[in-house]
Amino acid sequence: MTDTRSSNPPELRPDLAPKLQIGDSPRADQPTLGMVSLGCPKALVDSERILTRLRAEGYGISPDYTGADAVIVNTCGFLDSAKAESLDAIGEALKENGKVIVTGCLGAEPDYIREHHPRILAVTGPHQYEQVLDAVHQAVPPAPNPFVDLLPAAGVKLTPRHFSYLKISEGCNHKCKFCIIPDMRGKLASRPVHAVLREAEKLVSSGVRELLVISQDTSAYGLDRKYSTHPWKDSDVRSHIQDLSRELGRLAPADELWVRMHYVYPYPHVRELIPLMADDRNALLPYLDIPFQHAHPDVLKRMARPAAAAKTLDEITAWRATCPDITLRSTFIVGYPGETEAEFQHLLEWMDEAQLDRVGCFKYENVDGARSNALPDHVSEAIKQERWERFMEKAQAISEAKLEAKVGKTLQVIVDDIDDEGIATCRTKADAPEIDGNLFIDEGTEGLNVGDLVQVEVDEAGEYDLWGQITGS
């Protein structure tokens, strides 16, 4: 495999989940496992589910290789650079520990993994929880102590206590030519709405202040279930993104809970969510994460994307008319096979018109098994890099102007961290963890705690971040 990490290193990839945060302390003589979780938030949820099952069986969780009896590596296969990163992680785990079980998206290619690392104990594909457990049982037999091994109601969380990813479905029905995720994770398989709401309710009752709703295609939620209806509280609720969003937004008052939508395709029915976002009583944030990928209709056609850029601009205008404070984030691919300078210029002009708030960008990479590999007229690495730089310069200028307009405004923020010097790292409603910007408070943070929701007056803006002072809770 060609190492293409120089093309899209991890810090330039907008698909990554937050880093693992394991604060467990295994008891004496308890069998322990380490976990390396790579890739997107959906993979992080898989890691949480695996560790929750293992904790229920009496296993401890080790924060490092040397303290573990074996290591599970949850891999990513989204790009060739991600595959290389996964292989490196497997190699490091083998070197430091020796007993390694591989799962996740790259696990769908077991021969490929064993070709590079023949000493691994087992390989399983994405969301194959039972197979992972079987492999762990063989490598490290369980030794549960029912009087000691108590599992929290919310399960094992690998994110900070105050926010949590809520996965509502697996798989995807689209056939985008650059993507192999449907081959790895299968077709759309939605969870029933009452199961999602029950999990969300438990998370909120355990102290979670922000729910980040994720899937491969959030807008399509429930389509495979024919939008089946299930009892919830005193009414029946459809397995549909509109009903789910409404009910999630009712789990707690809007000043106590944030509900954030990720990976939303701009289907017509998405417009039904916007009034909920504009309703101050509903906890659904005025935030949409939409993977547009490009704007030129010919490029979108070559990508086999399920969206039309011209109609998308009309939708954006309509969304902002209903909810002026809505934040729109997206990801784009530059240098897609056949992309001409005129098509790229069209994308820049579209960006000028769309004025998206938060933007990430990939340089196109071939991925083994993707149909885009066979397309003609691949773009040179030098041109990809040059277009990426021009695109990010445009996106940065838009971001800087939008943030400058927030100076003097009072915003609600969530506190993510407070360092030893008392500087608080926070996020506004416009910022998802890891992928968007931050708001920093550098004085007056005494009595502030991680997870607090507070009011802050913005007094300074940069290219991607804000600074401010606390005005109230």
Binding site per annotation, positions: 40, 76, 105, 172, 176, 179
Cβ of 447: how many Cβ atoms within 10 Å?
8
Tokens of 32: 């322990």
Cβ of 297: how many Cβ atoms within 10 Å?
15
For tokens 């994720």, what's the residue? Answer: 214
Cβ of 385: how many Cβ atoms within 10 Å?
15
Separation CA 204–CA 202 (nearest Å): 5
Separation CA 440–CA 417 (nearest Å): 10
**Burial (CB count <10 Å: 0-12, 13-18, 19+), residue 308:** middle
Separation CA 345–CA 58 (nearest Å): 57
Cβ of 415: how many Cβ atoms within 10 Å?
23
Contact partners, residue 337, CB within 8 Å, separation at least 6: 302, 364, 372, 375, 376, 377, 378, 379
Annotated binding-site residues for [4Fe-4S] cluster read: 40, 76, 105, 172, 176, 179
Question: For the CA atoms of the chain, what is the radius of gyration?
Answer: 22
| Nearest alpha-carbon partner for 305 in 176, 408, 150, 434 | 176
